[in-house]
Amino acid sequence: MKLRSASFLLAVVLLLLAGCRASGPGTPARTVAEFFNKYENRSGFKATDWNAGLGTRFILGRLGKLGGGTDLTQALSSIRSARVITFTPTSGSARNLVTEGLIREVDGLLANERYSPLATTNSDLPNQLRYSVREQGGKVTEFVAVGKQETTDSFVLMSVAGSFTREQVTELGKVLPNVITGAN
Q: Identify the domain containing residue 155 by its residue range.
A: 2-183
Q: What band does 151 get if pLDDT is binned at 50, 70 and 90?
A: low
What's the confidence (pLDDT) of residue 78?
A: 82
Whether residue 142 contacts residue 161, with contact meaning beta carbons closer than 8 Å, is answered with yes
Q: Which letter does DSSP use for residue 101 in this model?
A: I
18-43 b/e (C-beta count within 10 Å ≥ 16 → b):
eeeeebbeeebbeebeebbebbeeee
Q: Which of the two residues, 120 and 159, has the higher pLDDT score?
A: 159
Total number of domains constituting the chain? 1
Q: What percent of the chain has pLDDT over 70?
A: 66
Amino acid in the structure at residue 167: E
Question: At a CB cut-off of 8 Å and minimum separation 6, what does 138 contact?
Answer: none
Mean pLDDT of the chain: 75
What's the confidence (pLDDT) of residue 154?
A: 83
What is the arithmetic mean of pLDDT over 71-92?
83
Residue 10 has pLDDT above 50, yes or no: no
What is the arithmetic mean of pLDDT over 99-104?
80
Residue 127 has pLDDT above 90, yes or no: no
Label residue 148 exposed, middle or buried (CB < 10 Å: 0-12, 13-18, 19+): buried
Question: At a CB cut-off of 8 Å and minimum separation 6, what does 104 contact?
Answer: 22, 23
What is the arithmetic mean of pLDDT over 101-122?
85
Residue 4 has pLDDT above 80, yes or no: no
